[in-house]
Structure 1
Amino acid sequence: MRGEPDRGPHNVPQTNRLTSVEFCAGAGGLALGLEQAGFDPVLLLDNRDVACETLRANRPGWNVLHKDLLRFEPRLELPRHREIDVITAGLPRVKSAATASRTRGSSWELELFETTARLTVELRPRALLIENVPDLLKRDEYESSRTRVAKNLDDAGYNCRWLLVDACDFGVPQHREYAVMVALRDGGVNTFVESLRPIPSAPGLTVGSVLRGSLSARGWPQASEWAAQADGISPTIVGGSWDRGGGDLGPQGSVRAWAKFGVNGRALADDVPSADFVWDPKRGTDHMLKLTVDQVAALQGFPPYWTFEGRKTAKYRQVGNATPPPFAHALGVALRSALSAV
């Protein structure tokens, strides 16, 4: 259950640890994975109070700043410190073509993207790492923003590279694609790319294997039956917009994908099934399993001790929008290799 003591891996000697500054830190998935890879944050910034509360609850010693990145003034708000090794940013997701047509578009998200590059030039870390959805790299309408960022970083002496990767190749039981941009000041980009190798997932790592234990916690007799048929990895967990009410597992396509596992993706549960719950998807959504926020967090690769502040929907938004810690750990290991090579 969540709230257990922190037993996360901290096996990098203190003398070899590196420093980071993180923008748009959210619930801490990226920071947690990087911590496990040997990076200690000098500062974590986010514009949502509930995300800052989550970070402080899990790591009271972290320096967390509740601030809009567009209003961040490093000379006033970044503690004096030795050279920053890396700036990281899990920036708000740019809109897909379908979403952009019915929303305000991605002007704010692109402004954050370009601001991150500008602050990198100002602060001069050894490396920059940004992760976002593949559309940031693929869509033509974002090309001008990508070009400006690349030019600013290149003029400042950084070598940049984009990668398209799927978190399922790095120990996460979920299809979750990312566009990753890495920039290094003194070379080492090729080492990063070579070091970011897919790792074999644990044998039998499926939705069912990840959730079986929690589903039997209240004596539900069908836990093993359900887990046996949920023998694949999950569809992409979609955190959704903070401007939209209600918690669910994503748009219609995601709901259909979850239904194949016998899961009702239109709502979240407050608790795991009790002993008298009858799972029978043929009888409709009332007899389909609903996932809890903690179960979704497990599918995102968060350890059981990591807690989330706020009400249920706010917790789910944080979980669904987070970078899976195992994927973040792989990014951190590749960054360490790249920084050690220069």
Structure 2
Amino acid sequence: MSGLTFVDVCSGAGGLALGLERAGFEPRLLLDEDDDACRTLRTNRPRWNVLQADLLDFDPSEHPESYDVDLLSAGLPRVRSNATVGRADSRVEERLLEATVYLVHAIRPRAVLIENVPGLAHADEYRPFRDFAHAELTHLGYEFSWFVVNAVDFGVPQNRKQGVLVAVEQNRSEPFRPPEPTVREPRTVGDALATSMASRGWPDAARWAAQADQPAPTLVGGSKNRGGADLGPTGAKRKWATMGVDAHTVGNEVPSPDFAWDPALGRDGMVKITVQQAALLQSFPESWEIAGLKTARYRQVGHATPPPVGEALGLAVAEALDGARAVTAAG
């Protein structure tokens, strides 16, 4: 069946929305507070209805198109870990999770999809949110699934685990089943970026790609309030170094023909990943344009849900909703 609709909040660069579109969903409204993110969405999908607004201030009664939808989706900013418990913005991240659940009360979608850190699905530190969501959504008649997916299982050249909440209205759904992996062998960084690395005539591109023979560590977008663009924490930087990549910064362009790649020399002898290449590691299409300056662009890419993951989740939700519609139609 077709004709499934969704509202997407905290849309960012549009990875989740793009995946849902591929799964057959049509967006009614996409919401994000960031100017660059909204420009990214409008540039790539001019027909999408993009609203620049803070989720905490969003009033759906002023946007009737947000009602009567099949799905409310949210790829929210990552909630705090134990290492970041005193951060000023950590409570904002929690409030966005809560606001998404309260938005379900207002618009009553037939299904809800929230994506965040893997611990959201099972870790003790996130139990208060799970209990809150369970109490609120069970009261409204939704059935729950909490689970973890890894983007590498869906053809994304990156080990990126995500905690997922899917809730579907009891009286409308077939049993929801989390998506099964779509690939058997992980895609490597070298496979994903070999063509890009060679695009300016760098003769060592193939040799580099052969060394970059594993998926990328999780890309981390960072916060607006702290630091510049890099490829992640210390452990991730070490992993990148084994692939001959300097992960302490993000490059401006791919290597030129005269670049001497020699990781034994340290960072000066390593390649740098560009924002466009980071987007390829998130499995955005090459044509997807990211708006803004370099750090803002990388932040959007690093925070995104890889589109193949969004597609797999969307297909799983659609199967539950379409199964219910088929049963209803047959009856």
User: Normalising by structure 2, what TM-score?
Assistant: 0.94
Say which of 69, 73, 82 aligns to 1:84: 69
CA contact (8 A) 1:191 1:334 kept: no
Specify the alignment match of 1:11 in structure 2.
Answer: none
Q: Distance in 2 between matches of 1:326 and 1:141?
A: 29
Matched position secondary structure for 2:37? helix
CA contact (8 A) 2:219 2:232 kept: yes
Q: Deviations over 1:239-284 (max 9, x none)?
A: 1111113111112111111101010000111110000000000011
CA contact (8 A) 2:152 2:187 kept: no
Q: Distance in 1 between matches of 2:153 and 2:49?
A: 32
Specify the alignment match of 1:165 in structure 2.
Answer: 149
Say which of 282, 286, 291 aligns to 1:304: 286
Specify the alignment match of 2:209 in structure 1.
Answer: 227
Within-5 A mapping of 1:116-265: 116-186=100-170, 191-193=175-177, 196-200=179-183, 205-265=187-247
Distance 1:219 1:161, change over 3 A: same
1:97 is displaced (CA, Å) by 1.1
1:105 is displaced (CA, Å) by 6.4
CA contact (8 A) 2:221 2:298 kept: yes
Specify the alignment match of 2:19 in structure 1.
Answer: 33
For 1:223, the aligned partner's letter is A
- Answering whether residue 50 of structure 2 is matched by residue 64 of structure 1, we say yes
Matched position secondary structure for 1:334? helix
1:189 is displaced (CA, Å) by 6.8
For 2:306, the aligned partner's letter is P
Unaligned runs of 5+ in 1: 1-14
Distance 1:205 1:80, change over 3 A: closer
Q: Deviations over 1:281-335 (max 9, x none)?
A: 0011111010110111001010011000000110000000000001111011111
1:188 is displaced (CA, Å) by 7.1
For 1:246, the aligned partner's letter is G
For 2:8, the aligned partner's letter is E
1:78 is displaced (CA, Å) by 3.7
Q: Distance in 1 between matches of 2:18 and 2:214?
A: 26
RMSD: 1.7
For 2:162, the aligned partner's letter is Y
For 1:136, the aligned partner's letter is L
Q: Deviations over 1:27-80 (max 9, x none)?
A: 000000000110111000011111011000111111101111010000112437
Q: Distance in 2 between matches of 1:35 and 1:280?
A: 42
Unaligned runs of 5+ in 2: 325-331
1:124 is displaced (CA, Å) by 1.0
1:204 is displaced (CA, Å) by 7.1
CA contact (8 A) 2:15 2:284 kept: yes
1:190 is displaced (CA, Å) by 6.8
User: Normalising by structure 1, what TM-score?
Assistant: 0.91
Matched position secondary structure for 1:165? strand
CA contact (8 A) 2:120 2:163 kept: yes
Q: Distance in 1 between matches of 2:256 and 2:2?
A: 48
Higher mean displacement: 303-312 or 236-245: 236-245
For 2:135, the aligned partner's letter is K
Aligned-residue sequence identity (percent) comes to 51
For 1:180, the aligned partner's letter is V
